[in-house]
Amino acid sequence: MNKLVGEAVDTVNALKPLVADVEGVDIVVCPVFTALHAVGQAVGGSNVQMGAQNCYVKESGAYTGELSPQMLLDVGCTWTILGHSERRQYFEESDAFLNEKLHFALKSGLKVMFCIGETLEEREGGKMKDVLSRQLTGGLQGLQAADFDNMSIAYEPVWAIGTGVTATPDQAEEAHAFVRGVVADQFGETVAAQLRIQYGGSVKPANAAELMGQPNVDGSLVGGAALEAESFAAIVKASV
């Protein structure tokens, strides 16, 4: 929940020339709802795409305070984030509800960054794999192989979000390899091999290249470091 409309547009306008020559990387900015229309216009014609931070499971109706995938598409979104740890923690979004959201967003034509991750207590209790398995099994239930062409999975260790603590490259690789294995068990090796798995958790220019260099880390879900165009651009370039 950062940046007023003018600030968001200024950031995107500063970002565009910094990444204009970047190829082979999908670059997506996900501003707050109030800035979507203006940012959508600002990124037009550039290699920067736009996503939302959340969406609901209905196209329209008596759901005050929510936005549908259709509304997001209408202002130029091509992506949405679903299941971010803060949505799970503060708004108690369950695996079943997120599965419903995921299905509806994909059916509506949005691409999805689907977030999973364990808390510090769960990791220290040796429950990381159990938590990730549950979130994947419940969240991805009922998907078809073709659905994975329009989504990524974002592993975000909750203990590393906004804390300045980053999972080591080995820790990130271990979790990502496990996630890919669970997907392979459920949907087959072909789907798992092609799936993009992003890392999110205090990614910054100083550690991006080493994280992105891991075999199973295919991209990043950037938080605080994306609030400044220069630092976000440096992370994008580290992903090439």
Q: Which residues are catalytic?
A: 84, 156
What is the 3-state composition of the chain as percent helix, strand, coil, each rounded to the nearest 5? Answer: 50, 10, 35
Going from the C-alpha of 91 to that of each of 62, 83, 102, 123, the distances in angstroms are: 19, 10, 17, 22
Question: Is the backbone of residue 222 left (phi > 0), alpha (psi -120 to 50) or beta?
Answer: beta
H helices present in the chain, as ranges: 5-19, 36-43, 69-74, 85-90, 95-108, 120-124, 128-139, 169-187, 189-194, 205-212, 229-238
Q: Is 1 exposed, middle or buried (0-12, 13-18, 19+ CB in 10 A)?
A: exposed
Buried-exposed string 134-151: b where 16+ CB fall within 10 A, e elsewhere: ebbeebbeebeeebbeeb
H helix count then E strand count, the chain: 11, 7
Closest-CA residue to 178 (of 222, 235, 116): 116
